[in-house]
Structure 1
């Protein structure tokens, strides 16, 4: 009720409930908020944003979340920066504003509604990457997903963070994709031959089969059973609506699918975003981007509440369909190999981990690195007095001699 009173006061300041006949303050809240919240906000890039009452978002269809979780809807001010003329930059400001007490969702891009069926097939093709062992293993089918990343394993972590510079990799085929992200993963051994994987993940991707364009877009994801059941984003659309996974949006900043700008330029200005995933004291996994609260995955998503992660990964991933009978030329990151360094290759700096008490510390200097196909995409671990340990990641894909 405290939230409802707060939102009611904000609505009254915009014109007030005195303009409608209400039998109670709660009823007045419902009537007036429905009147005030805008729909179909069309942005300059053609995207369409919906503002939704906090209690009407898809996650609230779950009675447990609606009634038992302690949640707060707030009007958070965006803390994205304007681009700066340095090698390490920030992401530009958002281009809309929803009323207090509401949250934002990407309804469509210029190309049309999001293609959620493509999300389902994409998710299932990722299922075996973490399922073999605690160590990184190549995929059973190397012509699908390829990775270049750094990782820590065999610990107890309450989350991780990193600053990713933003690129717009070129894809050879619209059914392929390229992304940079952080994975926070728990592997639980069930038997000698079986394990369960739970993850919370976030980053940016270019994936036209979902969004209908080649823009670089923010995404987040969770699975509670080795990618067999999963939730991309926060909408609860099919094919995900009938599973038990939910994401609770907390502000109107940074919805799933938001276009990220500015794009980094080779050896020039860099757009970057800080991504943090952390388990809070209530047991929910919180997601924030450049200090803007996005929302959280509730502990009720997970069979044993996902008490901690055993692995954290930072890096890139592409899909290689080999439709022309050779390796794809889809780029990872900037399309340049990691050896070219910061500002030329994609980077992840500020890599940090949260320990079992929730305390933040720097990722260790001796991080493990892994690349599925290092002649096509690779990763380099660097150490710097100012930046600490960081990685650069990427590659151009197809090369007649090196990556056939």
Structure 2
């Protein structure tokens, strides 16, 4: 055995000596080539991220430092991102539409519900407050393509995207708007790729191909905003969340007119379990004359509008309205996420404990606000998050919803 070992060793060394020098330059070349390609790709990505941020952050007349860390830029109205859209370039602001009848805002105080307003500073007339986008905001997204968009539902090709789970009150029919007051909470979000939101949906079209939606409410989304503050948000899509639409002003489309409300800014205060309940009132309705969909917050503050040219089916009326909560569960197999919906408590716990929508109304074809009739409920995972509805003298038509996510009944 010693002889065999001695006879093999020189032969092996000789083979290495004769072969390695011929391959080492080739291997080294490929290592260098891959390094150059990788570095070029990184530089290209950095440039594209910087370009996206530059497109979104328009020149401003003033910048306000919010206590929560946001920078609020006061951007001249005509420079806002909406007018990057080819169908909106060069347009003048639309005149405020006729409000739906049946609404009384005369006795309601102004709503000061955004943290940046605590500075006591306002944006000058003729400008709109826009939360500044940073490169870090973009880097938190899994790709530039989906930055600012709602995470896709899990598919065979995209198993990490997560399942969207809902607990909502809904109705089918012909609707030209919706209104409700929704309580604001600060639910715990388990991982940064998940979110928890509460919103009003106006929906038309096919869920499979060309769904049109308008959405507004509040949300907690660490990936989108880099923190866990509840934030006022908007969303729209005209093709089932594929290519069109986005959150807030992160793409062209939604036209802001308010100088007092920053879409995407944090909300303060929030509701406290068993104690004070804080809610915001939202109204979305279709301009009977020009067809755009307008958004109002609180006591008559017009935030802005979605032009009708953005949509196919919603160029007419909505075929469904929904009021409730949504979360993303990035663990569709195995244990359920512990991300909370609403207050983190179930609907049966009622006022002061469960999250709610109160005074739920819709806008009919005569541009009148009427109580929503025929409301039904749907919870995708009722042991994790549930929903209930009813009517009483104080809350009008209401929807309670929410839950803790993972628990003994939702393992």
TM range, smaller chain = 0.7 to 0.9
Q: Which residue number in structure 2 is paired with residue 403 of structure 1? A: 410
Q: Which residue number in structure 2 is paired with residue 278 of structure 1? A: 285
Q: Which residue number in structure 1 is paired with residue 49 of structure 2? A: none
**How far off is 1:66 after superposition?**
4.1
Deviations 1:280-312, CA, capped at 9 Å, x for gaps: 121101111113211111111123662110000
Q: Is the 8 A contact 1:80 1:91 kept in 2?
A: no
Structure 1 residues 38 and 397, CA, compared in 2 at 3 Å: closer, same or farther? same
Q: Is the 8 A contact 2:205 2:313 kept in 1?
A: no
Query: Of residues 243, 246, 263 in structure 2, which corresponds to 1:229?
Result: 243
Structure 1 residues 61 and 35, CA, compared in 2 at 3 Å: closer, same or farther? closer
| Structure 1 gap segments, 5+ residues each | 1-33, 83-89, 129-139
Q: Is the 8 A contact 2:175 2:365 kept in 1?
A: yes
Query: Of residues 84, 88, 91 in structure 2, which corresponds to 1:61?
Result: 84
Map 1:285-304 to 2 at 5 A.
285-290=293-298, 291-303=300-312
CA distance in 1, matches of 2:314, 2:379: 31
Q: Is the 8 A contact 1:72 1:250 kept in 2?
A: no
Q: Is the 8 A contact 2:388 2:399 kept in 1?
A: yes
Task: Using structure 2 for the length normalisation, give the TM-score.
Answer: 0.74
CA distance in 1, matches of 2:228, 2:337: 16
Deviations 1:194-230, CA, capped at 9 Å, x for gaps: 6521011011111101100011011101001111123
Q: Which residue number in structure 2 is paired with residue 211 of structure 1? A: 225
SS of the counterpart of 2:88? helix
Q: Which residue number in structure 2 is paired with residue 9 of structure 1? A: none
Q: Which residue number in structure 2 is paired with residue 354 of structure 1? A: 363
Q: Which residue number in structure 1 is paired with residue 66 of structure 2? A: 43
CA distance in 2, matches of 1:127, 1:308: 29
CA distance in 2, matches of 1:101, 1:173: 40
Q: Which residue number in structure 2 is paired with residue 134 of structure 1? A: none
Q: Is the 8 A contact 2:232 2:266 kept in 1?
A: yes
Would you say 1:198 and 2:212 are equivalent positions?
yes
Query: Of residues 322, 346, 351 in structure 2, which corresponds to 1:342?
Result: 351
Would you say 1:260 and 2:264 are equivalent positions?
no
CA distance in 2, matches of 1:64, 1:277: 22
Deviations 1:136-169, CA, capped at 9 Å, x for gaps: xxxx99961110000011x111111111110000
How many pairs does the alignment contain?
333
CA distance in 2, matches of 1:127, 1:222: 20
Q: Which moved more, 1:48-57 or 1:117-126?
A: 117-126
Query: Whose radius of gyration is greater, 1 or 2?
Result: 2
Greater helix proportion: 2
Task: Using structure 1 for the length normalisation, give the TM-score.
Answer: 0.75
Q: Which residue number in structure 2 is paired with residue 145 of structure 1? A: 164
Deviations 1:10-59, CA, capped at 9 Å, x for gaps: xxxxxxxxxxxxxxxxxxxxxxxx999213x2111111100100111111
Would you say 1:370 and 2:397 are equivalent positions?
no
Q: Is the 8 A contact 2:83 2:89 kept in 1?
A: yes
SS of the counterpart of 1:65? coil
Structure 1 residues 357 and 67, CA, compared in 2 at 3 Å: closer, same or farther? farther
Q: Which residue number in structure 1 is paired with residue 342 of structure 2? A: 333
